[in-house]
Amino acid sequence: MHKISLATLFSGIGAPEFAAREVFGEAKTILACEINKFARQSYLANHEAPLAFYEDVCDLDAKAYAGQIDILIGGSPCQDFSIAGHRAGEDGERGNLIWQFYRVVSEACPSVFIYENVKGFLSINGGKSYQRFMDTLRGWVITATPKF
């Protein structure tokens, strides 16, 4: 049986890896990417080390992984979209990382990708940021459904 190849961006402690093991039994993590030192330490304490572990998504040359990733999962930082934050949106220091997710999808060409973020992403900037992001992804998206 084919072992699912997984890549995660904004990997945190590796929740997508836990979920992949639950769903598929086994998955090979091709790459993970997490900038927070403590989250990286927790990730490595709880998971087999991925084939590559990047700190900064901006440094990731995803073209090197084209055709190797079955599932790419990521959720860029939510602080700039959250109703609990300052709502800087995609112009914020972290909010602009939604475009890094798109860049990696377009370079790595995974079979499937999953992007998640907070409900506030739908309404920031009158919904324009969400719509622009979705319009940009249209060529890649088979089904896009906000779930909250």
**Considering only CA atoms, which of 54, 10, 55, 1 is closest in space to residue 28?**
1
Catalytic residue of the set 33, 58, 78, 109: 78
- Does residue 139 contact residue 98 with C-beta atoms inside 8 Å? no
| Residue the block writes with tokens 């093991």 | 21
The reply to whether 109 belongs to the active site is: no
**Considering only CA atoms, which of 13, 27, 25 is closest in space to residue 111?**
27
DSSP letter assigned to residue 118? -
- Does residue 49 contact residue 114 with C-beta atoms inside 8 Å? no
Q: Among the residues of 12-97, which ranges form H helices?
A: 15-24, 37-46
Active-site residues, by number, are 78
